[in-house]
């Protein structure tokens, strides 16, 4: 039993050491793969490179107030390129969007009636990308 425990401990220690070594080498391989700008502007041959980072995301609404049932255009920029964007009104899921090559998106959503009993009140509309973790929110005033 003690030998088996030592074996597992050895495997864990080896895995941690390997992870630390690989992680500490990130700066040289990142630059080798993506160049100085992290690949945000494309390869030398002009082909675009998918951004792997969140670049100061911004979110705006076509209107910031209204009752449930209001159609609102949600616009985002500065998100990672070519990623799925999950949208939420407070805790209620809204239709998703997808960012373009520049990390921007635009989608029309309808404000749900789930929170009408709390109106008038301010709720956030949040956009979050996946697999890169990037999010931003902006307020919407729910009225009666």
Neighbours of 74 (CB within 10 A): 23
CA dihedral sign, ordered 87, 93, 94, 100: positive
Domain ranges for the chain, please list them.
Answer: 2-34, 58-142
CA dihedral sign, ordered 17, 18, 23, 27: positive
For residue range 6-64, list pLDDT tens digits in order: 667 778 777 766 665 555 555 544 455 555 444 444 455 555 555 457 889 999 999 99
For residue range 91-115, list pLDDT tens digits in order: 999 999 999 999 999 999 999 999 9
CA dihedral sign, ordered 89, 93, 95, 101: positive
Q: Please give the CATH number for the structural domain made up of 58-142.
A: 2.60.40.10
37 class by beta-carbon count within 10 Å (0-12 exposed, 13-18 middle, 19+ buried): exposed
pTM: 0.64
């Amino acid at each position: 039993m003690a030998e088996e425990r030592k074996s597992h401990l050895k495997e864990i220690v080896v895995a941690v050491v390997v992870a630390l070594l690989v992680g500490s080498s990130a700066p040289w391989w990142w630059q080798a793969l993506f160049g100085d700008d992290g690949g945000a502007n494309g390869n030398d041959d002009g082909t675009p490179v998918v951004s792997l980072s969140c670049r100061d995301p911004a979110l705006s609404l076509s209107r910031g107030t209204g009752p449930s049932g209001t159609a609102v255009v949600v616009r985002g920029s500065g998100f990672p390129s070519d990623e799925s964007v999950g949208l939420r009104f407070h805790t209620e899921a809204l239709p998703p969007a997808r960012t373009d090559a520049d990390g921007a998106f635009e989608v029309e959503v309808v404000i749900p009636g789930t929170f009408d009993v709390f109106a008038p009140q301010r709720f956030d509309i949040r956009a979050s990308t996946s697999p890169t973790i990037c999010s931003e929110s902006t307020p919407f005033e729910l009225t009666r």
